[in-house]
Structure 1
Amino acid sequence: MEQQQEMQKPVALIVGVTGMAGLSLAEALKGLTAPAGPWTVYGAARRPKPTTWFPSSILDRYITFDAVNLNDTKLHLSPISNQVTHIFWVAIQVRDTEEANVAVNSLMLSNVLNVLTSSPGSRLRHITIQTGTKHYMGPIFDSAHSGQLVPHDPPFMEDSPRLPFPNFYYALEDFVASYAASKGFTWSVHRSSIIIGASARSVYNALLTLAVYASICRHEGKPFRYPGTRYTWDHFCDMSDARVLAEQQIWAAAVSETAKNQAFNCTNGDVFTWKSLWKVLCEIFEVEFLPFNETETFDWVAEMKEKGSVWDAIVEENGLCKTKMEEITCFSALNMVLQFKFQHVCSMNKSREFGFFGYVDTLKSMGMWVEKLRYMKIIPPTTATGRR
């Protein structure tokens, strides 16, 4: 009887557990009120577990392996291949071209699925795949294609036709749908906006990038100027709180039957202007709010490239986790977002129609996530909070 109950217990594998979304997933799954729980949670990543900011108590096991390498994947995942019931795929590797992104990310997913379904006793029931709004905009970070892109009109809708450009999000969706159908498990795709969470190991971390920028401005006594355009300053944008992302993925994986084999946008459910967000950030980081000034254009990406030693000094002075600025920020990627000539807004109608009502007030969530980054000793405290 005990063994039968143990076999019915859901076992999650979070691939990419050290990123913003992965960490929030682990926290949600190990929470006392986690749907379908209690869960056994395995977390996997390419690099060893961080010894400082990562809360190891939220995992039953941390697994280090390289998903690009099939032999390494077999070595580390075969021992749990007859245990895992749910995969939460929040992993990403970024290359110079979108064609290379397609190749490497498809290979990683293929290797993991092949290993976890190769066991005769495989219990895999569902896989969630996290993608994003590049689905509606095309490969915006690939210079070979970016000049030709015409994004869909906002708000972005899940049933919009695909754009005629390579996109690793499309490749992952097609692969998992085909593979799941052949193996008899279900899937769901979750298209995030700009993700806001707390981690020092996320490829695109807008909030941490802004926090580093603000910290350097404070340290040097320089103004915290908005580096975007008048258009983005005044027009709407949206974000995805990592907690909402986790909630929606668990809902689709283990709560809703109708959400199976579907793709959903996942945002906070509200919109903001960068003007309103900038005021909030100025309060949080204790810097002066400056109205947008079109005559004061500046290249913050170039300026920040020269500030690595300044960040090193901030880290040392405040006793922070040892990080390098270029490893925890994404100035070029965020700069592109701040130059958009369209409103970056997703529709959440489909998600609500299917029964998911997760919501976070974006502006209110900023302070919480910044405090978490401070608690994790990834960014420095302000004068109001004092030295830690």
Structure 2
Amino acid sequence: MEKPVANPQEPFVALIVGVTGMAGVSLAEALKSPKALGGPWKVYGSALRPMPTWFPSSVLDEYIAFDATDAGDTADKLDPISGEVTHVFWVAIQVRESEEENVVVNKTMLSNVLKVLKGGQRSRLSHITVQTGTQHYMGPIHNPSESAGVFNPHEPPFVEDLPRLPYPNFYYALEDLVKSYVPTLTYTVHRSSIIIGVSSRSVYNALLTLAVYASICRHEGLPFRYIGTRYTWEHFCDMSDARVLAEQHIWAAVTPGAKNQAFNCTNGDIFTWKSMWKKLSDAFDLEFTPLVESESFDFVEFMAGEKQSLG
């Protein structure tokens, strides 16, 4: 395996866009570790809103709040560091009603940031890592109607060189955007499975969602019903620890042989949700409830109702 580059004479400077999410928190902690590849790093972290009180501010040299969908705000906030940043770690996401809207908003955000950091004469930006996921291989799993009634995901195992699916996907748009900057900029794409990490700011924090759901069921004496399908109940699944994902981002960012490629990243262990549901039931002192497909259960509606009841 090719070794990473030696520690540079001038320190690498990272900008983590989406630092308050699961992957972002782990990236900040990993980059500030004394053992970080390419370190010591100077680390800027950014997100849309002000830094939350729970965030470990000691892992950042500076926090920058800005709206990446707004080109003016992006330029105002990032121009002061545009001559410093050598690496961007892109772990930001915004979710809209349709995948076409997701394409527009997420591509706009990344484009606005790159225009500022790569557009000037003093730019030092050399590499960007882009966080995506296995939806690259599965298509519109969150809104199957966007596949025009014909949903044909790739069969596992998912390998990085599988062809793209004929559905809208903002992951594809992000990849195409960073590729357009080659050779003035190198990139890597990181395709995770379900990310498990710590953050209350993440859109897809499965760990936090399940913990809240289980706590509500225990508090109100409700059955802890599975929220997926029989297929996911019985078939194998995997996950990606945010800390493992962060290490892959950093390795790829400083290793010459990793440039301009995509990498899957999972923990390597597999499970079924049937077995996981038993462990969750035990952890939250709940009776294990087997899957009952005949029951109609809208999880989103259930959680919305609980939010209203809790005020």
With normalisation by structure 1, the TM-score equals: 0.75
- Alpha-carbon separation, structure 1, partners of 2:260 and 2:234: 37
- Aligned equivalent of 1:118: 119
- Alpha-carbon separation, structure 1, partners of 2:207 and 2:309: 19
Q: What SS class does the counterpart of residue 179 from structure 1 fall into?
A: coil
C-alpha change, 1:139 and 1:231, in structure 2 (3 Å) is closer
Deviation at 1:205, TM superposition (A): 1.2
Counterpart contact for 1:73–1:112, Cα < 8 Å: yes
Residue deviations 1:309-344, cap 9 Å, x none? 4555xxxxxxxxxxxxxxxxxxxxxxxxxxxxxxxx
Query: Partner amino acid for 2:51?
Result: K
Query: Partner amino acid for 2:153?
Result: P
- Between stretches 139-148 and 88-97, larger displacement belongs to 139-148
Q: What SS class does the counterpart of residue 307 from structure 1 fall into?
A: helix
Query: Partner amino acid for 1:77?
Result: L
- Between stretches 288-297 and 162-171, larger displacement belongs to 288-297
- Alpha-carbon separation, structure 2, partners of 1:13 and 1:300: 36
Residue deviations 1:34-60, cap 9 Å, x none? 111111110000111112x11111111
Counterpart contact for 2:8–2:38, Cα < 8 Å: no
- Aligned equivalent of 2:93: 92
- Aligned equivalent of 2:152: 150
State the 4+ residue runs in structure 1 displaced beyond 6 angstroms: none
* 2:274 is aligned with 1:275: yes
- Alpha-carbon separation, structure 1, partners of 2:265 and 2:310: 33
Residue deviations 1:217-272, cap 9 Å, x none? 01102221223233322210111111111011011001x22111000111111111
- Aligned equivalent of 1:43: 45
- Alpha-carbon separation, structure 1, partners of 2:93 and 2:297: 31
Residue deviations 1:134-157, cap 9 Å, x none? 111112333541432210011111
- Alpha-carbon separation, structure 1, partners of 2:243 and 2:172: 24
Q: Matched residues, percent identical?
A: 67
- Aligned equivalent of 2:161: 159
C-alpha change, 1:264 and 1:77, in structure 2 (3 Å) is same
- Between stretches 142-151 and 78-87, larger displacement belongs to 142-151
1:41-80 matched pairs, under 5 angstroms: 41-51=43-53, 53-80=54-81
- Alpha-carbon separation, structure 2, partners of 1:291 and 1:144: 29
- Aligned equivalent of 1:344: none
| CA RMSD, Structure 1 to Structure 2 (Å) | 1.7
Counterpart contact for 1:30–1:41, Cα < 8 Å: yes
* 2:196 is aligned with 1:202: no
- Aligned equivalent of 2:4: none
* 2:170 is aligned with 1:171: no
- Aligned equivalent of 2:303: 304
C-alpha change, 1:291 and 1:99, in structure 2 (3 Å) is closer
Counterpart contact for 2:144–2:151, Cα < 8 Å: no
Deviation at 1:125, TM superposition (A): 1.6
- Alpha-carbon separation, structure 2, partners of 1:295 and 1:107: 43
**For this pair of structures, how many residues does the alignment match?**
304
Deviation at 1:284, TM superposition (A): 2.3
- Alpha-carbon separation, structure 2, partners of 1:8 and 1:133: 36
- Alpha-carbon separation, structure 1, partners of 2:166 and 2:228: 28
* 2:295 is aligned with 1:264: no
- Aligned equivalent of 1:243: 243
- Alpha-carbon separation, structure 2, partners of 1:295 and 1:81: 57
